[in-house]
Amino acid sequence: MMELSSVGYAYAKGGGVDSVTTRFREGELVSLTGPNGSGKSTLMKLMARALDPQRGEVRLLDRPLAAWDRREFARETGYLPQEPEWLLPMRAIDVVLSGRAPFLERFRWESKEDYALAEQALADCDASHLADRLLEEMSGGERKRVFLARVLAGQPRLILLDEPLAALDLEHMQRFVEMLRTIVDVKGSTVVFISHDMNWSSACADRMLVMNGGRLVLEGPPREVMRPEVMLEHFNFRGEALQSDSGRSWIVPSR
C-alpha cells in the first residue's frame, strides 16, 4: 500500500525524522508508538502529504507521492491530525461532509450520496446524535469522534490517525478499536495509528512500530515489542510483561 524509503525531514528548530524505511501492506492494522518527540507525528504527516520529505521518498500504490495529483491522493487516504482545529462555528454533520471534499467538483454542492456517507460515518463513530451540534459545544472525546467520522466519510484505503484514542472514554476506545479491526478485516483497508497506549495497541494491531529520536528503531508483531527490555531501552519505562490465556501481552509498571 505505502512504502517509505530513507525518508527524512528536519525542522529548523530541531527534531523530525531521519532515514525511515518501512512498508505498510494492504489489510494491515499498524500501531506507531514511541516516546514524546520521537517523530511519530512528523512521520505521519509525511505519509499524509501534509509535509513533503526533504530526503528519501514515500510511495503510495507504487507511485511516489509527488507524482500523485493532490486530490486523487486525498481520495485514497484519510488523515486525522493530532489536534484537529477549526476556524468557523460548524456543525458536526458539516465537518464530516468536508471529508467528502476531495470528491467534490468546483462550484458544486454535496450530493445525497455524500450526505448518506457522512451520516453513516457518524453512526459508525456512535456520533449520530451529535450531527446538528456545534463543535465548540462538544467535549474533547465527542469532537474526536466527529473528526474520526470525517476521515471515514472519505472511505479511504489508507487511514492515518494521529492519536485517535486520546480523549476517548473506555467504551468508545473499545468500540473504536473494534471498528478499526472491522475496516481492516472486512474492507481490506490499511490503518496506521499513533498511540501511547501500548496495551490497546497490542490488543488490536497486527504490527507495532517503535520510533525513538526520529528513527524507526523496532518493528514487529506485538509480542516482540511488548517486552520489558524494549520498554526500558526505548521508553525509559520500567515495566513487566504479563501474558493472558489468549496469548495477548500486557505491560504493567514494575512495583
Partner 1 sequence: MKQTGAARALRNGILILGPLLVIAVLVATQFGAARLSIAAVLAGDPIAETIFYSIRLPRVLLAALVGAILAVTGLTFQTLLRNPLADPFILGVSGGAACGAAVATALGLARIPGVIPAVAFGGACVAMAAVLLLARRGLTIDPSRLLLAGLVLNAFFSALILLALSLTGGSDLSAALRWMMGTFFSASWSDVVMLAVVLTLSLIALAAYGGELRLMAFGEDDARSRGVNTNAVVLIVFLVSSLATGAAVSVSGIIGFVGLLVPHAIRMIWKHDYRVLLPLAALGGGTLLVLADALSRSIMAPGELPIGALTALLGVPFFLVLLRRLAR
Residues that bind partner 1 (CB under 8 A): 12-13, 45, 48-51, 69-75, 77, 79, 81, 84-91, 93-94, 97-98, 101-102, 104, 106-107, 109-112, 114-115, 134
d(CA 97, CA 187): 21
d(CA 132, CA 118): 13
In the numeric block, which cell numbers belong to residue 194? 499513533
In the numeric block, which cell numbers belong to residue 159? 487511514
Which of 8, 27, 37, 19 is CA-nearest to residue 192? 27
Compute the least distance from the CB of residue 163 to partner 1, in Å.
14
Compute the least distance from the CB of residue 171 to partner 1, in Å.
27
Compute the least distance from the CB of residue 111 to partner 1, in Å.
7
Nearest CB to partner 1, comparing residues 112 and 255: 112
Nearest CB to partner 1, comparing residues 48 and 194: 48
Compute the least distance from the CB of residue 48 to partner 1, in Å.
4
Nearest CB to partner 1, comparing residues 160 and 218: 160
Q: Which residues contact 191 (CB under 8 A, 6 or more apart)?
A: 28, 29, 30, 159, 161, 180, 183, 184
Nearest CB to partner 1, comparing residues 31 and 77: 77
Compute the least distance from the CB of residue 27 to partner 1, in Å.
22
In the numeric block, which cell numbers belong to residue 157? 484505503
In the numeric block, which cell numbers belong to residue 60? 503510495
Which of 92, 85, 80, 94 is CA-nearest to residue 45? 80
Compute the least distance from the CB of residue 89 to partner 1, in Å.
4
Nearest CB to partner 1, comparing residues 71 and 238: 71
Tell me if residue 194 falls in helix, strand or coil.
Answer: strand
Q: Are 219 and 209 in contact (CB under 8 A)?
A: yes
Nearest CB to partner 1, comparing residues 2 and 225: 2
